[in-house]
Structure 1
Amino acid sequence: MLKSFPRVTRWRVTPSLSLRLGQSRRCYATPQRSVEHVRVRCKSSGEITVSLHNMAGHSSTTPLMIYLPPFATPGAEAEPQLALPSWLYDYPTAVINYRWQPIPPPQKVNQDGPINDLVRRPLLTWPAPIHDVLSGYTWLSSNLGTPSPTPSTRSRAAYVYGSYLGAALATSLALTESHHFQDPHENPHFPTPRPTLTIRGLIAHNGIYNWTTLLPDHPINHPRKEPEPDQDVIDDFNQRRHLLHTDPPHPAAHKTPTPPSKNFTLLSSKLAALFPSPSSLFDPFASPSLFFHNPPLHVPSTFDTPINPIYRVPSPSSQREEPAKVLSKDDLALSEIPAPPEGNLIFPPRHSTLRIPDALLIHDDGGDGTEDEGNTFGTQAKALAKYMRRSAVESEFRAVRKPKGGYEDEEEEQYVSRVVMSKQERTEIGERRVRLLGVGEEADEGVIDEEVGEWIAEQVSEHYGE
């Protein structure tokens, strides 16, 4: 039976707190920064390490930064010596070292090094990572949040940052823990009590936000080819243009799929190691874009065999095999059923205290101004931004029609004028709330840190005056 952590009335970590928690802790300090590691039990199994950086010298009202590393912690017993991005140096930061099937960082694969040792360790595939993240967040809420928040003492704000594998986890955490409260008299669904910690912003870098796009049946992997124009039609058009003395139009550029980056290809190749079955890819906590829409494909039984017969390219060894021998019985039955449509979902749910958090979505593709086609970090970020922007506008700024009998008073008229917006105003609000940043594949980490630092400083200054 798991022990429950006692409530901590002060968020600053002290030796007495360590004794009350009954946890083993070790501290490392430098003249400017300090780090303390806390062992936190998980409801699924085992323990994780939550690393607390720069906690001293900050008040309990200072927003807390939550960092989800790009890849999993190699060992559950290790005390991670993870270097923080430079923009986090000025903020109290908690690193949730989740466990996942370890894979080497991009472009740093060492076949003869410690990677071989990782293969012999017990594998922790999905959903272990999200369980670890939620366990770590629960501990942070219990120990570093605002004690007993009220309308006059709001919940402590948090900003979550993640990259690569951590990006999708950070996005799922932000979407499901970003609570916004109104006066209880205005909102009959006002919850009691308020959470001690709530997420106000998200920074995600190079994430795969819809893992189902890596399955062979997904439409993104089969772009429609535009038919070639008839030559007679072209000749007739040119003749008419010559008679009208008009300039020739610019020829439409043929869009070809953008090749994915090496890092995207690496993550794509690890599907079977990261997830136990294709059905896990359809979990919105793994693919946070699916909070907003249904995937337009069936759930296959394997990662690499298409269900749709038009996408199936038989290998030389299977050319003579019957379809029933190539596909499982379930897949064979699904192949006779049309794929489901990509229907939009309402998120956050109506009457929910959740709101779409402010977000900065960074991707290494498209930094040179070109449009992304195909399946890349850029298209993943743009798709997520589209859904988040639409949801932010629709859920928070729904148009209110003018009453047939006219306005009851001036206050009602002013309220309606505030929420009724033009399409351009809605677009501007969505782009301001959810920002996209393409930096190019060869971008220096210092450039990214500078952009993120400026964005988070604006957020903290605007909302908290710090």
Structure 2
Amino acid sequence: MLDIYHPQSGAPPGAGIPTIALYLPRGPLLHDAETDVLNAQALRSSLPWTVVQLNYRLSQAHPYPAPIHDVLAGYDWIQEHLLPKRSVARPGRSAHVGQLAVFGELIGGGLATMLGLTECRRGEASVVAAAVSNPLVDWAFPQDGEAGHAKSSVAKFRSQHPGVTAVDLLSTRAGLFRKPADYFDPFASPILFFRTAGTEPPLPIAPTVTDELEQLSLLDREDFFREQQLLSGISNTPPAPPVEFNSLSLVTKRKASRMFPSKELKLILPSFHISTGTTSPLLDQAKELSSALRKSVVRQHRARKPGGDFGRKVLTEEEELEQLEPEERVAKVQEDELAAEQVILESVKGLGLWDGSTAGRSRLQEAAAWARAKLR
């Protein structure tokens, strides 16, 4: 469902290019319908554009990938109905004129990131700027007993911030995904566009049968699950009860970088404004996302030069500096400045949400002002 807020009367005129601001709510994590409405209204008062709040489905009855489908369907609807069509249609060119800025927080921030990374095609009406607060871009984070647990910021703050502790995040994940393979999908965990997960999805726990009665009970459950799978294609049918998974069966692998976006995709990464809090369980995810985006911005910048380096091995900063001549090091500094300008990471004290506090409202207004400057 879409809530559409047209520009307020008397608002200053917007840019010459038609622009839409798309707002994606927090989702089930710290859900607050009143805050969502206030945020959309704050964007409306700060921007001279039409603001659309996309209320995607996400619950145990509508687990992933339902919100991904909803967001992409809503995005297509906005393009078709809210952006004007070109007066002259030409093959290979977008039928619509315009640009979009997308805003999102927590789960909505992860979905906004996904949309920004995939709907930024060269020469089309697409996402040009994305402002996200505490985006949840990696659902494949470890839990107790799994490799890497001690290094995860999700684990560091389990006793802080009710609603977004490690226990809360793991509980939310268990209720929103039918199986672990679903949160290893880059559309659900957008950081996986830039690297591998480092682990494989856990395998189901093999049930232990001790007598004939348990064997019959197991067969009954299997029949029930099979029946639910057949019914899963029917709308409004609850999913089958979750299958237990063995966290100890995870196979740990070295995380490897991925070249995203590849040249063949013809994507131009939008500008990103990423905000988070110094005590946020999602602090590490925000930092990793900004780092990955900046590296990709530099790669795309180099690719537009003669002899571009798409397909070149990804080097660490130390390895790259060792191979550069003095004049090349100057060019690298300029590239890094360009990347830092296109991908902004801001960290504030506390959780750093776009909440109803004076500071939270100010953070959202700053993100809106940033987007307005980018989409002039």
Taking structure 2 as the reference length, what is the TM-score of the superposition? 0.68
SS in 1 for 2:39: coil
2:227 paired with 1:285: no
2:266 counterpart letter in structure 1: T
Contact kept, 8 Å, 2:102 with 2:129, in 1: the verdict is yes
2:108 counterpart letter in structure 1: G
Aligned to 1:213: 141
Contact kept, 8 Å, 1:214 with 1:268, in 2: the verdict is no
2:324 paired with 1:422: no
Contact kept, 8 Å, 2:298 with 2:339, in 1: the verdict is yes
C-alpha separation in 2, matches of 1:426 and 1:217 = 41
Contact kept, 8 Å, 2:196 with 2:256, in 1: the verdict is yes
Contact kept, 8 Å, 1:294 with 1:344, in 2: the verdict is yes
Aligned to 2:101: 159
1:390 counterpart letter in structure 2: K
C-alpha separation in 2, matches of 1:143 and 1:427 = 39
2:248 paired with 1:340: no
Aligned to 2:226: none
Compare relative contact order (CA 8 Å, sep 6+) and give the higher one, 1 or 2: 2
Map of 1:262-301 to 2, 5 A cutoff? 262=161, 263-265=163-165, 266-301=168-203
C-alpha separation in 1, matches of 2:70 and 2:45 = 24
**Which of the numbers 108, 124, 130 marks the counterpart of 2:62?**
124
**Which of the numbers 441, 449, 457 marks the counterpart of 2:350?**
441
2:54 paired with 1:96: yes
Change (3 A) 1:124 1:359: same
Aligned to 2:37: 82
1:259 counterpart letter in structure 2: F
SS in 1 for 2:259: coil
Contact kept, 8 Å, 1:362 with 1:436, in 2: the verdict is yes
SS in 2 for 1:346: coil
1:66 counterpart letter in structure 2: L
Contact kept, 8 Å, 2:2 with 2:54, in 1: the verdict is yes
Quote how far apart the aligned CAs of 1:333 are. 11
Structure whose alpha-carbon radius of gyration is higher: 1
Deviations 1:434-466 (A, max 9, x none): 1111122265743343344334334433542xx
C-alpha separation in 1, matches of 2:78 and 2:51 = 11
1:272 counterpart letter in structure 2: A
Map of 1:446-461 to 2, 5 A cutoff? 446-461=358-373
C-alpha separation in 2, matches of 1:349 and 1:165 = 26
2:277 paired with 1:377: no
1:65 counterpart letter in structure 2: A
SS in 2 for 1:363: strand
2:196 counterpart letter in structure 1: N
1:138 counterpart letter in structure 2: D
SS in 1 for 2:164: helix
Change (3 A) 1:420 1:125: same
Map of 1:18-417 to 2, 5 A cutoff? 49-55=1-7, 61-71=17-27, 82-85=37-40, 86-91=42-47, 92-101=50-59, 123-148=61-86, 155-181=97-123, 195=124, 197-216=125-144, 219-223=147-151, 258-260=156-158, 261-262=160-161, 263-265=163-165, 266-301=168-203, 339-366=252-279, 376-398=281-303
C-alpha separation in 2, matches of 1:434 and 1:422 = 18
C-alpha separation in 2, matches of 1:333 and 1:98 = 33
Deviations 1:194-230 (A, max 9, x none): x4x3101111112221111144565431449xxxxxx
2:293 counterpart letter in structure 1: M
Quote how far apart the aligned CAs of 1:420 are. 8.8
Contact kept, 8 Å, 1:66 with 1:159, in 2: the verdict is yes
Change (3 A) 1:356 1:332: closer
C-alpha separation in 1, matches of 2:94 and 2:76 = 23
Aligned to 1:406: none
SS in 2 for 1:212: coil
SS in 2 for 1:83: helix
Aligned pairs, how many? 296
Contact kept, 8 Å, 2:43 with 2:51, in 1: the verdict is no
Contact kept, 8 Å, 1:439 with 1:448, in 2: the verdict is no
2:253 counterpart letter in structure 1: P
Taking structure 1 as the reference length, what is the TM-score of the superposition? 0.56
C-alpha separation in 2, matches of 1:461 and 1:360 = 12
C-alpha separation in 2, matches of 1:419 and 1:96 = 45
SS in 2 for 1:61: coil
C-alpha separation in 1, matches of 2:264 and 2:307 = 20
1:342 counterpart letter in structure 2: K
C-alpha separation in 1, matches of 2:137 and 2:188 = 7
Deviations 1:103-155 (A, max 9, x none): xxxxxxxxxxxxxxxxxxx7111111111111111110100123127789983
Contact kept, 8 Å, 1:72 with 1:99, in 2: the verdict is no
C-alpha separation in 1, matches of 2:351 and 2:371 = 27
C-alpha separation in 2, matches of 1:379 and 1:274 = 22
Change (3 A) 1:165 1:222: same
SS in 2 for 1:343: coil
Cα root mean square deviation, aligned: 3.7
Deviations 1:222-260 (A, max 9, x none): 449xxxxxxxxxxxxxxxxxxxxxxxxxxxxxx9x7424
Quote how far apart the aligned CAs of 1:388 are. 0.8
